[in-house]
């Protein structure tokens, strides 16, 4: 079994924290949220992941209340905030106030990846809680100073929680690759989903 690991101060990996039924419910919820699309980057590029947001619509580098098509963003559900608080308490060993108002859901097909970046579009530095579903991936967790080394590669599998808080909140991170075909077929997910909960501070 893979133990709880503090990768860096405030960065806690909880392997297999979600039970299989919870994973299935989250996959079903993600399927129900429509409007996934490739985010266009300011430099003209297009992200290989497809994303949808709840609560706020994310665009680099900002958040808005409407999508690029002017359609309303889905509300951030209370039950997801509850799940985030439980995950945060499990990661840090004690309950603490946490009121996320953004969920960013990323879908990775077999070839999608995410380059090293910092999450700086939120005004709040409250922790980010990440849930992984489906195919495993290589998650690259870097440092707060540079996009380059030193970094640590961690395998994130379906059901894993990762909490990024404290001094790690602004660490560079990314997903150099997924590991296609590693998802439990019973999950019924071809690819990888990642849900991050965030506090906008707006
Ligand atoms: C993912 N998502 O698996 C990745 C990793 C994103 C994003 O990076 O911005 O949607 S979830 C990890 C994460 C989120 C926020 C902060 C940190 C890691 N961190 O400080 O290392 O789709
Ligand atoms: Fe990120």
Q: What is the mean pLDDT of residues 143-163?
A: 97
**Span from the CA of 144 to the centroid of ligand 2 (angstroms):** 13
Query: What integer pLDDT is reported at residue 29 of this predicted model?
Result: 98
User: Does 114 contact ligand 1 (Cβ within 6 A)?
Assistant: yes
User: For residue 87, how far is the Cα from the chain centroid?
Assistant: 13
Is the shortest distance between the CB of 104 and ligand 1 below 6 Å? yes
- Is there an atom of ligand 1 within 6 Å of 171 CB? yes
pLDDT of residue 33: 97
Q: What is the pLDDT of residues 76-119, one digit of tens each?
A: 999 999 999 999 999 999 999 999 999 999 999 999 999 999 99
| 24 pLDDT above the threshold of 90 | yes
Q: Does ligand 1 lie within 6 Å of residue 39's CB atom?
A: no
Does 53 contact ligand 1 (Cβ within 6 A)? no
| DSSP secondary structure code for residue 78 in this structure | H
Q: From the CA of 39, which ligand is nearest?
A: 1
Q: Looking at residues 41-70, what average pLDDT do you find? A: 95
Å from CA of 21 to ligand 2 middle: 26
pLDDT at residue 158, as a whole number? 98
d(CA 196, CA 202): 17
**Looking at residue 186, what is its pLDDT?**
98
Which pLDDT score, from 0 to 100, does residue 56 have? Answer: 98
Which residue range(s) make up the domain with 117?
5-198
Report the alpha-carbon distance of residue 198 to residue 202 in Å, rounded.
11
C-alpha 181 to ligand 2 mean position (Å):
24
Give the domain CATH number at 177: 2.60.120.590
106 lines ligand 1 (CB under 6 A): yes
Task: Please work out whether the CB of residue 164 comes within 6 Å of at least one atom of ligand 1.
Answer: yes
Closest ligand 1 atom to residue 169 Cα is 20
The mean pLDDT value for 139-164 works out to 97
Q: Tell which atom from ligand 1 comes closest to the C-alpha of 130.
A: 11
User: Does residue 160 have a pLDDT over 90?
Assistant: yes
Structural domain count of the chain: 1
3-state SS, one letter per residue, for 57-83: EEECCEEECECCCCCECECCCHHHHHH
Across all residues in the chain, what is the average pLDDT? Answer: 97
pLDDT of residue 68 exceeding 90, the answer is no
Q: Is the ipTM of this complex over 0.90?
A: yes
Whether residue 83 contacts residue 75, with contact meaning beta carbons closer than 8 Å, is answered with: no
């Amino acid at each position: 079994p893979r133990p709880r690991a503090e990768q860096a101060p405030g960065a806690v990996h909880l392997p297999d924290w979600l039970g299989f039924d919870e994973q299935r419910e989250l996959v079903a919820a993600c399927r129900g949220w429509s409007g996934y699309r490739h985010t266009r980057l300011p430099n003209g590029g297009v992200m290989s992941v497809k994303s949808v947001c709840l609560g706020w619509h994310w665009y680099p580098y900002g958040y808005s209340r409407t999508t690029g098509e002017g359609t309303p963003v889905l509300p951030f559900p209370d039950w997801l905030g509850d799940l985030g608080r439980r995950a945060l308490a499990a990661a840090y060993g004690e309950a603490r106030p946490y009121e996320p108002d953004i969920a960013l859901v990323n879908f990775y097909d077999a070839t999608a990846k995410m380059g090293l970046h910092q999450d700086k579009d939120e005004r709040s530095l409250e922790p980010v809680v990440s849930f992984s579903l489906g195919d495993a991936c290589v998650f690259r967790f870097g440092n707060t100073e540079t996009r380059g080394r030193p970094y640590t590669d961690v395998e994130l599998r379906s059901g894993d929680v990762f909490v990024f808080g404290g001094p790690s909140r602004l660490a560079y991170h990314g997903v150099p690759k997924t590991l296609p075909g590693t998802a439990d077929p019973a999950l019924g997910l071809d690819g990888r989903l990642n849900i991050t909960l965030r506090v906008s501070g707006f």
